Structure 1
Amino acid sequence: MHPWAFRARFRRTAFGWKGSKLAIERIHEALTEIRAVARQDAATAAEGAVLFLEKLSPALSQIDSSSGSLGNATYSAVRELVTLIGSAPVDAAVRKKWLDRLFEAIQKDDPPYIEHLGDHWGDLCANTELASVWADQLLPTQRSVLRDRQRGTYAFFSGTTLCYSALFTAGRHDELLGLLAMDPRPIWQYLVWGARVLAARGQVDDAIAYARQHAGSTTSLETIARFAEEALLKANRRAEAFDQFALLANQANSNLSTFRALSKKYPELAPDKLLGHLIASTPGEPGKWFATAKTLKLFDRATQLAWASPCDPKTLTRAARDHLTKQPGFAMQAALAALHWMSMGHGYELTGLDVHEAHRLAIEGATNAQQTERAQATIEQVLAPDRPMSAWLRRSLGITP
């Protein structure tokens, strides 16, 4: 048996109420350990992955996970380890034992940190024969639950997604659609399997229509868009996937992260063209893409965006400071734009120091770019008395009326 270091760190209730940060660190350490073993021995690494998934929920059960960061970490871990387990070169007997252990772990998954394993049960089976065996094992309970639901009785089965995933992998698509038809109120995690069946049959447009038609009010447009985009990409209909669903399906925590996600998925699009699509997707707010353009070193585009709509003055000032030497013209424009938006009343928790810094960078950038007269003319416009905050800017700079 491999001496897994994570075993001791993921004992039951190993983490306390405020242990979210430490738990996330330990999850990353465990994944690193498993990856290292996988480079030499995929089967042993998969065994470690099964062990880790067994121990995960019991170890995290006492943590306050309200921030969502722990859930994101466990979700990512499950997705990564599913691939490792599903592709491991082991015989049927070993895989059967793994699945039995994981099924038991899912039944005890409270709080539900590994519930998404069910979405990948067919992949974990690794072949149609074992998937069909599991489908037969789960079907009686699933049918019983659905009959109760048809009678109006509340009924739940933690193996529902496992059953649907197994049926899908086994190629028993008609049975899967029949089960979905029995459910009076299927949630997205269930009905998406019907859409996947249609997509697998090559009926991509019907699959998207099915998803739209059956998704309930609790299913977000982003969720539907992610399914539709994936289905179109698998059908090699890339242009349609991007034009119709990509911008909605790839929303991330920041504009730059959104750009990077799309750039990775659609490498055929030039950065400037992709950025143009994103700018067009937020009409009236082009300035929110300033930082993305700056990071991509599209300085002319970034300059246009800095003046096009309100930008955070502190973001503009930082950009000016960071590029003062190598891109003085851009630095000048960013600093001037910072002063402009300050004078119009935009920005949060600004002080006189922010005004001084933006003014200094504007002058230095203009000097380096040999555009002093142009910068001075813009500053005079910014300090004009018809602007909401111009008086405050003048006082901050020590300029008398």
Structure 2
Amino acid sequence: MAGKVTHKWAFKLGMRAGAYSWKSSAKAIDRLKSASTEIRAVARTDPTAAAEGVIALAQRIWPAFEHIDTSSGALGNAVRRTLEDLLPVLIEAPADEKTRTKWLEQLREAIEDDGVDYLAPLADRFGQIAAYPALMNLHADCDLDMMRGAWADHERFSHVTTGTLTLSCLLEAGRYDELMALLALKKTSLWFDMKFGAEAQLRQGREDQALAFAEALLKDDGRQWGHHEIARFCEDILVRQGREDEAYRRFGLPTASGNTYLAMWRDLVKRYPDLDARMILVDLIESHGSKGKWFAAAKTARCLDLALDCAAHSDAAPATLIRAARDFAIKEPAFAAQIGLHAIAHLLAGRGYEPSPLDIDEAVTHVMDASARVGQRGPMLRELQRLAANTATDVIMSTRLKSLIADIEKGDG
């Protein structure tokens, strides 16, 4: 039985209605971080009180953030991450049915008032938050007739604010036939609704049907909203069935994700630890293109031959190559010298982000130092002379290179 919760939440003071103006996105994100930290700290000693904190935060998000410019997507992403991180606190709290009844009423009202679907993560897991079958069924039935009427009317578009939480409750209550029948009424098949149908098939042990149900959405004429999530869902089913290679080829490679090309490679290596890391990298380059941008991944994978191939491509970043020439000058000097040469060639061709003559200086220094370590200083100087003799797009870089070569020749003389 849950006791009376008396915790006083510090975050509430900064989450008042209308507290943030148009340009307050960064401030609001910081406030979310503080609230999350406070709630998780309380969860270690009083999980029920912490769950109350999640409810209190959810109730305040829209009123507090209503006037903030959300066009960059940063605030929306921060809200989503915060709520997803806090969901286990709410779902796993040892609360009795009476307490959860109150929580669900508060959450339903907050979801209904939410102007931009900030609380979508909570709606998605509403059935799990309900915990008790009686509460799942209660909230499943609350707007079910309204949804049937709205979704069956294909002449007019009617948005049901509580639609997602209703689908979640139907799923968690095991009312799969009603769920599928409801989804069949919809004119449009979008993943944020259809994922509940796909999951219902899985929970009934119908893996092939779930796969076909989800994959059909990928075959729409336009790129389906949630394309990445759908592909991951299909991939997971194939892996579960022991069809790992098929999962990798059909869904893994196309959905490799990350903020950088290196992160994409690491993502796939982590998801498929039994596959050869070099093979994964080669496959990524072939399927995603932009070979030069995969240099950092190839270098990190210790595929130095492949890294050299990447470095030679026009979309390789000279600054990245120069750093690599510096970092590898001692442990892999031959590699460092060749990488530095590619960087110089790119700079002469006018490539790179805001290049400076200082970049040529640094590259030449690393090239000559590395080549000296392997007894190739003379041949490397001749290679620099060859580059300098060719027609260059960037005259300033070419002039600087010739000057540096003259200094080296004078010093060697």
TM-score by length of 2: 0.87
Structure 2 CA distance for partners of 1:267 and 1:52, relative to 1, 3 Å: farther
Is 1:42 the counterpart of 2:47? The answer is yes
Is 1:347 the counterpart of 2:363? The answer is no
The alignment's C-alpha RMSD in Å is 2.6
Structure 2 CA distance for partners of 1:261 and 1:40, relative to 1, 3 Å: farther
Task: Determine the C-alpha separation between the residues in 2 that align with 1:146 and 1:366.
Answer: 71
Task: Determine the C-alpha separation between the residues in 2 that align with 1:105 and 1:278.
Answer: 43
Structure 2 CA distance for partners of 1:268 and 1:373, relative to 1, 3 Å: same
In the TM superposition, what whole-angstrom CA distance separates every residue of 1:35-84 from its partner, at most 9, and x where no partner exists? 22222232222221121111112111111111111111111112122222
Unpaired segments ≥5 residues, structure 2: 1-5, 407-413
Give, as a single letter, the amino acid of the residue that structure 1 aligns with 2:16. Answer: R
Q: Is the 8 A contact 2:217 2:224 kept in 1?
A: no
Q: Which residue of 2 aligns with 1:159?
A: 162
Q: Which moved more, 1:164-173 or 1:6-15?
A: 6-15
Counterpart selection for 1:96 from 90, 93, 101: 101
Task: Determine the C-alpha separation between the residues in 1 that align with 2:310 and 2:16.
Answer: 52
Structure 2 CA distance for partners of 1:383 and 1:64, relative to 1, 3 Å: same
Counterpart selection for 2:206 from 164, 189, 203: 203
Q: Which residue of 1 aligns with 2:363?
A: 358
Is 1:267 the counterpart of 2:243? The answer is no
Q: Which moved more, 1:7-16 or 1:202-211?
A: 202-211
The structural deviation recorded for 1:259 is 2.6
Task: Determine the C-alpha separation between the residues in 2 that align with 1:120 and 1:10.
Answer: 24
Unpaired segments ≥5 residues, structure 1: none
Q: Which residue of 2 aligns with 1:54?
A: 59
Q: Which residue of 1 aligns with 2:325?
A: 320
Q: Which residue of 1 aligns with 2:409?
A: none
Counterpart selection for 1:175 from 151, 174, 178: 178
Task: Determine the C-alpha separation between the residues in 2 that align with 1:335 and 1:37.
Answer: 53
Give, as a single letter, the amino acid of the residue that structure 2 aligns with 1:159. Answer: T
Structure 2 CA distance for partners of 1:262 and 1:118, relative to 1, 3 Å: same
Q: Is the 8 A contact 2:262 2:296 kept in 1?
A: yes
The structural deviation recorded for 1:181 is 1.4
Q: Is the 8 A contact 2:48 2:94 kept in 1?
A: yes
Structure 2 CA distance for partners of 1:259 and 1:59, relative to 1, 3 Å: farther
Q: Which moved more, 1:360-369 or 1:160-169?
A: 360-369
Give, as a single letter, the amino acid of the residue that structure 2 aligns with 1:253. Answer: N
Q: Is the 8 A contact 1:134 1:166 kept in 2?
A: yes
Counterpart selection for 2:400 from 391, 396, 399: 396
Is 1:382 the counterpart of 2:403? The answer is no
Alignment of 1:235-246 (within 5 A): 235=241, 237-246=243-252
In the TM superposition, what whole-angstrom CA distance separates every residue of 1:293-348 from its partner, at most 9, and x where no partner exists? 33455545433422255311112112223444444333322211101222344323
Percent same amino acid at aligned positions?
A: 36
Task: Determine the C-alpha separation between the residues in 1 that align with 2:187 and 2:128.
Answer: 28
Q: Is the 8 A contact 1:18 1:63 kept in 2?
A: yes
Q: Is the 8 A contact 1:128 1:171 kept in 2?
A: no
Structure 2 CA distance for partners of 1:267 and 1:214, relative to 1, 3 Å: closer
Q: Is the 8 A contact 1:343 1:390 kept in 2?
A: yes
Task: Determine the C-alpha separation between the residues in 1 that align with 2:105 and 2:27.
Answer: 30
Q: Which moved more, 1:152-161 or 1:264-273?
A: 264-273
Give 3-state SS (helix, strand or coil) of 2:254's partner: helix
The structural deviation recorded for 1:389 is 2.8
Structure 2 CA distance for partners of 1:211 and 1:56, relative to 1, 3 Å: same
Q: Which moved more, 1:327-336 or 1:166-175?
A: 327-336
Q: Which residue of 1 aligns with 2:238?
A: 232
Counterpart selection for 1:65 from 70, 74, 91: 70
In the TM superposition, what whole-angstrom CA distance separates every residue of 1:94-144 from its partner, at most 9, and x where no partner exists? 112111111111011123311232211122123444322221223122123
Task: Determine the C-alpha separation between the residues in 2 that align with 1:319 and 1:89.
Answer: 53
Give 3-state SS (helix, strand or coil) of 1:63's partner: coil
Task: Determine the C-alpha separation between the residues in 1 that align with 2:241 and 2:26.
Answer: 40
Q: Is the 8 A contact 1:127 1:169 kept in 2?
A: no
Is 1:185 the counterpart of 2:184? The answer is no
Q: Which residue of 2 aligns with 1:2?
A: 7
Q: Is the 8 A contact 2:148 2:182 kept in 1?
A: yes
TM-score by length of 1: 0.89
Give, as a single letter, the amino acid of the residue that structure 2 aligns with 1:333. Answer: Q
